[in-house]
Structure 1
Amino acid sequence: MSPPKRRVRRGVEDARQRILETAEAHLAADGPAGVKVQRIARELGITDAGVNHHFGSREALLEALLRFCGRRFVEELRAEVAARGEAPFDAGQAARLLLDFYGRRGTGRLAMWLMLSGWEPQGSGMLEPLVDWAWRSALLATRRDCQKLVAVLSAVTLSQALSRDAILRSVGLDGVDEADFLDWVARLAASPRP
């Protein structure tokens, strides 16, 4: 165990940003259980009370962390979609972006953890950049259908991030490559319907 860092005073916004960035790293590495006030405080050279001063409680920190991760993801998503310019919608790429967000970054587990504790998400439209990309590509007949497509991709990738290969194994698909499965789902979900 490393010794605690020397305590440092920071401005309110700087302190909140550093706390959230540190919490985000722990979330990605260890899931929601790894986001501990004491651990974050020790790493940043502040007191536990200092972390709680900015967020009120661990639960409030976790909620703020989910919003923080979501905002960062939306920024990255917008940049990714913009970089593709007029390229047609790629449902497989969209699924991989979502799986990275829900899985590797730990946000899927955090969202489920909070919802199972009684938290209810507020707001909507986080995945609109993907909807816009699909709609610009005239992939489906209506924007509403594009929204449904992105909702399906989101549900599948969230489920995959939470269960890893358990769902695939439950139907006897042992050893199936996750990327191949997601590409198959993406092709199926994005096929035009009459």
Structure 2
Amino acid sequence: MAARVRRKPDDAKRMILEAASKLLAAGGPAAVQVRAVAAEIGVSDAAVNHHFGTRDQLLESLLRFGGAKLKAELRNVLSEWADGPAELVRALAALYADGYAELALALHRSGWRDTGAGMLDEVIGRLHDQAVSRCAGTGRTPPSREAVQLTMAGLHQALAMEPLFGADFRRSAGLAADARERTLGWWTEILRATLSGSRLPEGRRTPRRPEQDGKA
């Protein structure tokens, strides 16, 4: 009989959540059962319950796990910035396509509510800072932080619902149900347009700095 491997609690939790994430991507929330997760990594059902209590608590932790993965990926996108808007849109879309849209909806229907806020705060802050820096070099007025917030809120909502309702909404507007790639491209252009700012009025040689807004 193989010796039992003892892992630190954080390592064990991460392994369980990674296994649950794999099952979620393959079969949706219904596939994330304690027994299936335990079998995936070769532990007992009791071991999974020891770390997460109940299946509902496991699912809630899995949703937060997905959010943490998304934040890390978006941080990398913003650091490299080869084509920031396109990569950011695709990173958001990929997360929800892997079952997290269904998971969020299932938890919401069960009565669970996420009381946290600002999952995208860091991303929005960095997008705004980068937009201000780029606009300073192009002679354009940078977007306000709220403009970036509103754009990201709309983008996030649309991509979270895309796997569930995207095709139906496109059909309702007379678009082909399979126009997902064009939808992602449209959102990329919306984000890019927001971040590019607006043209300065005639006679303004240098853009107004954000801290000057509201000052005479």
- TM score, norm. by length of structure 1: 0.83
The AA in structure 2 aligned to 1:147 is Q
State the alpha-carbon separation in 1 of the partners of residues 57 and 166 from structure 2.
Answer: 28
State the alpha-carbon separation in 1 of the partners of residues 57 and 149 from structure 2.
Answer: 30
Q: 2:58 aligns with which of 42, 58, 61?
A: 61
Corresponding residue number in structure 2 for 1:143: 145
Corresponding residue number in structure 2 for 1:108: 101
Q: Is 2:41 the counterpart of 1:44?
A: yes
Q: Is 2:162 the counterpart of 1:160?
A: yes
Which has the higher Rg, Structure 1 or Structure 2? 2
Q: Is 2:98 the counterpart of 1:96?
A: no
Percent identity between the two aligned chains? 35
State the alpha-carbon separation in 1 of the partners of residues 113 and 59 from structure 2.
Answer: 13
Determine if contact 1:102/1:158 at 8 Å carries over to the other structure: yes
Corresponding residue number in structure 2 for 1:124: 117
CA change 1:7–1:122 in 2 (3 A) is farther
Extract structure 1 runs of 4+ deviating beyond 3 A: 6-9, 188-194
Shift of 1:190: 5.2
1:140-179 Cα shifts (integer Å, max 9, x gaps): 5310111111001111111212224121122221255312
SS at match of 1:172: coil
State the alpha-carbon separation in 2 of the partners of residues 7 and 62 from structure 1.
Answer: 30
State the alpha-carbon separation in 1 of the partners of residues 96 and 64 from structure 2.
Answer: 13
Determine if contact 2:77/2:88 at 8 Å carries over to the other structure: no
Q: 1:19 aligns with which of 13, 16, 19?
A: 16
CA change 1:29–1:7 in 2 (3 A) is farther
State the alpha-carbon separation in 2 of the partners of residues 43 and 134 from structure 1.
Answer: 38
State the alpha-carbon separation in 1 of the partners of residues 53 and 156 from structure 2.
Answer: 31
Determine if contact 1:37/1:48 at 8 Å carries over to the other structure: yes
The AA in structure 2 aligned to 1:112 is L
Determine if contact 2:19/2:37 at 8 Å carries over to the other structure: yes
SS at match of 2:174: coil
1:58-116 Cα shifts (integer Å, max 9, x gaps): 000001111112112111110111111xx7852x433222111111x221211111111
Structure 2 unaligned segments of length 5 or more: list them. Answer: 136-141, 199-216
Aligned length: 186
- TM score, norm. by length of structure 2: 0.76
Structure 1 unaligned segments of length 5 or more: list them. Answer: 1-5
State the alpha-carbon separation in 2 of the partners of residues 88 and 64 from structure 1.
Answer: 31
The AA in structure 1 aligned to 2:161 is S
Superposed CA RMSD:
2.5
CA change 1:175–1:43 in 2 (3 A) is closer
